[in-house]
Amino acid sequence: MSAGEVLVVGGGSAAHRFAERLHHHGHRGGVTVLGAEPAAPYHRVLLASVLDGTLPPAALELPALPDGVRMHAGTTAVRIDRARRLVHADDGSVHRYDTLVLATGARPALPRIPGLPRPGTSDAVTALRTLADAERVLRADPDARRTVVLGGGLLGVEAAAALTRAGHEVALVHRGPHPLDRHLDADAGKLLAGRLAGLGVELHCGREAAAYCAGKLTLDDGAVLAADTLLLCTGAVPETALARRAGLAVGTGVLVDGRLRTDDPRIHAIGDCAEHPGAAAGHLEPAWEQAESLARQLTGAGPREAGYRGTRCVTRLRVPGIDLVRLGGRPAGGSGSGAGAGAGAGSAEVVTVADPARGRYARLTLHGQRVTDAVLLGLPRAIAALTRLHEQGLPVPAGRLEFLLGIEPAPPGADELPGDAVVCRCNNVTKHAITEACRAGAADVEQVAAATRATTGCGGCTSTVRSLCGMARTGGSTS
């Protein structure tokens, strides 16, 4: 099929990836992108790196879109005329489409707190969604760096850690019993809280904000926190207003089917604004996979033409020094390759490792040897390996504990080597051959080398050969 004139509403990562992949897969019709933000498309996911000062804002800019893509930054779509296949924008411009892709993303869900100014009206109170938000925080007076982060979800925790690294005094206020309580059980949560406290984050869990007034946040227990900056990390909601006004079916997000179509076959939705049963909201990987899938679909590129079947859910904390992942669990009613696949294939096996003194914790739920839900903290190698296995839908190794703890067998010492063990790999010389050479009179490494060639390749076995020589001389075990 031909996608004809493609119009993308939204200028974030999903829109950018989609435009890029559409071109890659051979779409030669027109492509227009309307981005509401004035900045060129950038990596929203790297905002924490701007907050902690490791990247300047300009470093977040995405690569230029392929030639021929018309990018309109700072242009907000306000109305879809489905009958005429037109989109009207706030600058009065009108854009025709044969295929419309909604990638409008999400907007911050803002709490109702008495006294709170409307975000954007003051540098002292801001959400954290856009580059402009991050720059607002950066503009804070260097002598007024008491920052309160409201909301202990992924974004809040990452922002709190980043600001701490940047030298802010950070208090993190979270209504749940511990940060990331949607992902972590109490044991893991306690460990995480400890790690955050260790970084210098002051935690206020089980608390709600009660009131805000002129740089002070009052909590529901009456405590008052100084907040030169108040950062609102209280969740996001899919940006669906445009779709809703156009009469498209909307649940939490714009409802899409396996071909990422809304109930108007000419209109698709991808990324944070879309609601698909196999994709977790607010994650980048599903947005990118949807962009790829839709680009293939619209250009007829195989073999993923069949459509989008969901993305396994991996929630990975991005805080240097804290290795934490939650696998699976999130999208409700996921099907196909989405999380939850394998559930019901036999009874559940639960593996738990808790080593709180060393900050290590793992809790895995397996069905048919495969992870359906897992939390790992402080186990970097297991996190990496298990994430891959989860992505590939592969079984977890039978040695569960060795796997989780990353244990490898220690190399045996020379006297423990069996006789047929190869000591010199370069010349395929066994321990037996070396001890025989010693028995026949070779007294040192050089003489063993002359007799067997051991040590003459890379030389790495020299110390082993020396100790075997020594053992032979002293009558030590050479069996």
Taking the complex as a whole, how short is the minimal distance between the CB of residue 327 and other proteins, in angstroms?
10
Taking the complex as a whole, how short is the minimal distance between the CB of residue 317 and other proteins, in angstroms?
8
- Judged on CB neighbours under 10 Å (0-12, 13-18, 19+), 78 is middle
Kindly state whether residue 290 participates in binding other proteins, applying the rule CB under 8 A: no
Selected binder of other proteins within 222, 302, 409, 413 (CB under 8 A): 409
DSSP 59: G
Taking the complex as a whole, how short is the minimal distance between the CB of residue 319 and other proteins, in angstroms?
10
Selected binder of other proteins within 453, 466, 467, 471 (CB under 8 A): 453
Restricting to residues 133-192, name those near other proteins by CB under 8 A: none
Selected binder of other proteins within 39, 45, 86, 301 (CB under 8 A): 45
CB 326 within 8 A of CB 166: no
Restricting to residues 369-388, name those near other proteins by CB under 8 A: 380-381, 383-385, 387-388
Angle between helices 445-452 and 462-474 (to 10 degrees): 110
Restricting to residues 60-119, name those near other proteins by CB under 8 A: 60-63
Backbone angles phi, psi at 190, to 5 degrees: -65, -40
Selected binder of other proteins within 120, 167, 265, 320 (CB under 8 A): 320
Taking the complex as a whole, how short is the minimal distance between the CB of residue 387 and other proteins, in angstroms?
6
Kindly state whether residue 458 participates in binding other proteins, applying the rule CB under 8 A: yes
Restricting to residues 210-269, name those near other proteins by CB under 8 A: none
Kindly state whether residue 198 participates in binding other proteins, applying the rule CB under 8 A: no
Query: Which residues fall within 8 angstroms of residue 171, CB to CB, at 6 or more apart?
Result: 146, 147, 148, 149, 201, 202, 203, 204, 225, 227
Kindly state whether residue 389 participates in binding other proteins, applying the rule CB under 8 A: yes
Alpha-carbon distance of 305 to 258, in angstroms, equals 11
CB 37 within 8 A of CB 132: yes
With contacts defined by CB under 8 A, name the span among 46-54, 195-203, 245-253, 335-343 that binds other proteins. Answer: 46-54
Selected binder of other proteins within 88, 457, 466, 467 (CB under 8 A): 457
Residue 54 or 76: which CB sits closer to other proteins?
Answer: 54
Would you state the structure tokens that stand for residue 379, as one six-digit string? 């186990």
Kindly state whether residue 346 participates in binding other proteins, applying the rule CB under 8 A: no
Kindly state whether residue 314 participates in binding other proteins, applying the rule CB under 8 A: yes
Alpha-carbon distance of 358 to 179, in angstroms, equals 19
Selected binder of other proteins within 247, 265, 346, 397 (CB under 8 A): 397
Residue 198 Cα distances to 180, 220, 318, 328, angstroms: 17, 25, 16, 28
CB 345 within 8 A of CB 336: no
Taking the complex as a whole, how short is the minimal distance between the CB of residue 120 and other proteins, in angstroms?
26
CB 450 within 8 A of CB 443: no
Binding footprint of other proteins, residue count (CB under 8 A): 45
Selected binder of other proteins within 25, 30, 39, 54 (CB under 8 A): 54
**Bridge partners, residue 35, by sequence:** 73
Kindly state whether residue 463 participates in binding other proteins, applying the rule CB under 8 A: no
Kindly state whether residue 351 participates in binding other proteins, applying the rule CB under 8 A: no
Selected binder of other proteins within 46, 205, 237, 405 (CB under 8 A): 46
Alpha-carbon distance of 19 to 294, in angstroms, equals 10
- Judged on CB neighbours under 10 Å (0-12, 13-18, 19+), 340 is buried
Alpha-carbon distance of 272 to 233, in angstroms, equals 16
Alpha-carbon distance of 313 to 279, in angstroms, equals 7
Taking the complex as a whole, how short is the minimal distance between the CB of residue 59 and other proteins, in angstroms?
6
Kindly state whether residue 302 participates in binding other proteins, applying the rule CB under 8 A: no
Would you state the structure tokens that stand for residue 44, as one six-digit string? 């929203």
Which residues are near other proteins by CB under 8 A?
43, 45-46, 49, 54-55, 59-63, 285, 314, 316-318, 320, 323, 380-381, 383-385, 387-389, 391-392, 394-395, 397-398, 408-409, 411, 425-428, 453, 456-460
